[in-house]
Chains A and B, each alone.
Chain A
Amino acid sequence: MIEFRNVSKVYDHNIRALAGVDFRVGKGEFVFVVGPSGAGKSTMLRMVYREELPSEGQVFVEGRDLARLRAASVPYLRRGIGVVFQDFKLLPSRTTFENVAFALEVTGARSYEIKRRTTQALELVGLRGRQRAYPHELSGGEQQRTSLARAVVNSPKILVADEPTGNLDPQTGRQLMQYLHNISLMGTTVLVATHARSIVDEFQCRVVRLERGRIVRDDQRAGYFGPLSACADGEEV
């Protein structure tokens, strides 16, 4: 579904974000990407939806080399990838319903289709009753669920979440992660960059750890610091 082949990224002023990353994610997998700030997690995620291109190496999504994708094809790639951000990125002048419907409107979907699927997506994240509220009337958790509903309303094959719980309290964060996990159980590939150690430990999924732009560990059914049996090692973050 997603494949990184020897991917490096160097920004201006010789800042190296990724260095020789090799990495594959299969269909329906749920993967945590962990690591200290500046390790390259966001860069890696942004490459999946082609907000960034690698300086070296190749990124494939569903078998397509993203560097070779024509600019005009990028919107169609993105319709198959839902994105959730730490700061929600909701439009303040639109209601919950409109924020979610927005992702369908821009694809030219028919209005009854927009209504049906938006309602479904809001139901999925438990916001059916809040659809007329504006973002400023919502709690942080509700705002993030709105942005999650927007990310899944197009029934994407891939969902990318960059620190989705960063602005939420632990309880709300755990709840949101549960929603993400449920979505992966429905067959969507989910990639989550996070610092939330307790949540990662709790979910026991695949964990990829990045440090200084390199993958230093990639374990199935792991906690934040590696396979759960090794958790007691007490490594520093």
Chain B
Amino acid sequence: MSLFGYCLREARKSIGRNPFLSIATVFTAAIALLVLATFLLGAANLQNLAEFVERQVNVAIFLRDGVAPADRDSLKANVAGIAGVEEITFVSRETALQRLRDKFGENAALLDGIDEFNPLRDSLEVRVGSAAAVDLVAEAVKASPLVDEISYGKELVARLVSVTRALRLGILGLAGLLGLATLFLIQNSIRLSVFARREEISIMRLVGATDSVIRWPLVFEGIVLAAGGALVATLAVGVVYQWLWQAMGRNLAFLPVLPLAAVLGRVGGVVVLTGVVIGAAGALLAMRRWLRV
């Protein structure tokens, strides 16, 4: 019989022999990893939000009334030549109004009657690849007599980016702390399991079991239990996330929330892997004191 087979079989049997302790360990691990999974999902969405915001970096150049199409086109060509500008579109005041109507949706009737004296202005919408290009565009057109106003959410963008960076760091730190807490919890659970089996371990040592024969079944057990907890946690977090995602889709549609399929694989993978590592480490830590020959 191979040692590996023996270890696997023993781990399975041991879980079967102590079903309550095993289930308790799985759920302890699940709860700890659930928190980790929640933070990972939060982090993934925050990342996504940050990218989304960065993609929104654009500049609107509002034109004075009555600018001739030829002047407008030459201004457009000038701006298009600036490094970092990815796209430039002319938006007429009529198009702008139509967009507003679309935004109002079923309340568009409120806008009825303003067609006559449309208060909106013609504009050039500039999409840029980086925050630095925003400055270049603004500098280039500021002095032009054709330009009424330049609008760009530069400060807002800068703040959002720095806030998300801080949040990301914070979440990383928290995830680390949670990982440690999980390790501690699982180590304690396995220590209980090892303690419950100290008689068995002492007999194993008496009949000439090497340390590895004693150690590996327990490590396998730790891995299986913690990975089981990780799966439970992933499943639970997945169900809740899907439900939240649908609810937000209905009520907060403007927020870019990642669909479950886009994040579950990554988060589940990290959580299960964390579970495996923590389960093994927890088991090894837990049995240190029982393996003194």
Chain A residues near B (Cβ < 8 Å)? 49, 51, 71-72, 74-80, 83, 89, 91, 93, 102-103, 105-111, 114, 150, 154
What's the nearest-Cβ distance from chain A to residue B10, in Å? 8
Give the docked Cα–Cα distance between A15 and B258 (Å): 70
> Interface size bucket, B side?
20 to 34
B209 — nearest CB in chain A belongs to which residue?
A106
Query: Among the listed B199, B200, B207, B214, which residue makes an inter-chain contact with A103, where contact means beta carbons less than 8 Å apart?
Result: B207
**Contact between chains at B203 and A102 (CB < 8 Å):** yes
**Contact between chains at A71 and B293 (CB < 8 Å):** yes
Query: Among the listed A77, A91, A93, A108, which residue makes an inter-chain contact with B203, where contact means beta carbons less than 8 Å apart?
Result: A91
User: For the complex, is B213 an interface residue (Cβ under 8 Å from A)?
Assistant: yes
Give the docked Cα–Cα distance between A155 and B138 (Å): 92
**Contact between chains at B17 and A107 (CB < 8 Å):** no
**Contact between chains at B199 and A102 (CB < 8 Å):** no
Query: Among the listed A107, A110, A114, which residue makes an inter-chain contact with B208, where contact means beta carbons less than 8 Å apart?
Result: A107
Assuming the A-B contacts A91-B200, A91-B203, are A108 and B1 also in contact, with contact meaning beta carbons closer than 8 angstroms in the complex? yes
**Contact between chains at A89 and B199 (CB < 8 Å):** yes
User: For the complex, is B83 an interface residue (Cβ under 8 Å from A)?
Assistant: no
Show 14 A/B contacts (Cβ-Cβ < 8 Å), sorted by A: A75-B209, A80-B208, A83-B206, A89-B203, A91-B199, A103-B208, A106-B204, A106-B208, A106-B214, A107-B208, A108-B1, A109-B1, A110-B1, A150-B207
Please name the 4 residue pairs, one residue from A and one from B, whose CB atoms are nearest each other, closest first: A79-B208, A106-B209, A78-B208, A103-B207
User: For the complex, is B210 an interface residue (Cβ under 8 Å from A)?
Assistant: yes
Main SS of the interface on chain B? helix
User: For the complex, is B205 an interface residue (Cβ under 8 Å from A)?
Assistant: yes
Give the docked Cα–Cα distance between A80 and B208 (Å): 8
**Contact between chains at A105 and B1 (CB < 8 Å):** yes
With a cutoff of 8 Å between Cβ atoms, the chain B residues found around residue A110 in the complex are 1
Query: Among the listed A75, A78, A108, which residue makes an inter-chain contact with B3, where contact means beta carbons less than 8 Å apart?
Result: A108
Give the docked Cα–Cα distance between A108 and B216 (Å): 13
**Contact between chains at A78 and B207 (CB < 8 Å):** yes
What's the nearest-Cβ distance from chain B to residue A69, in Å? 10
With a cutoff of 8 Å between Cβ atoms, the chain B residues found around residue A72 in the complex are 210-211
With a cutoff of 8 Å between Cβ atoms, the chain B residues found around residue A83 in the complex are 206-207
What's the nearest-Cβ distance from chain A to residue B145, in Å? 89
User: For the complex, is B6 an interface residue (Cβ under 8 Å from A)?
Assistant: yes
B214 — nearest CB in chain A belongs to which residue?
A106
**Contact between chains at A76 and B203 (CB < 8 Å):** no
With a cutoff of 8 Å between Cβ atoms, the chain B residues found around residue A105 in the complex are 1, 6
Query: Among the listed B202, B213, B293, which residue makes an inter-chain contact with A106, where contact means beta carbons less than 8 Å apart?
Result: B213
Give the docked Cα–Cα distance between A79 and B210 (Å): 10
With a cutoff of 8 Å between Cβ atoms, the chain B residues found around residue A107 in the complex are 207-209
What's the nearest-Cβ distance from chain A to residue B201, in Å? 11
Assuming the A-B contacts A91-B200, A93-B17, A108-B213, are A75 and B6 also in contact, with contact meaning beta carbons closer than 8 angstroms in the complex? no
A92 — nearest CB in chain B belongs to which residue?
B199
What's the nearest-Cβ distance from chain B to residue A169, in Å? 25
**Contact between chains at A111 and B1 (CB < 8 Å):** yes
With a cutoff of 8 Å between Cβ atoms, the chain B residues found around residue A114 in the complex are 1
With a cutoff of 8 Å between Cβ atoms, the chain B residues found around residue A51 in the complex are 206
Give the docked Cα–Cα distance between A150 and B203 (Å): 11
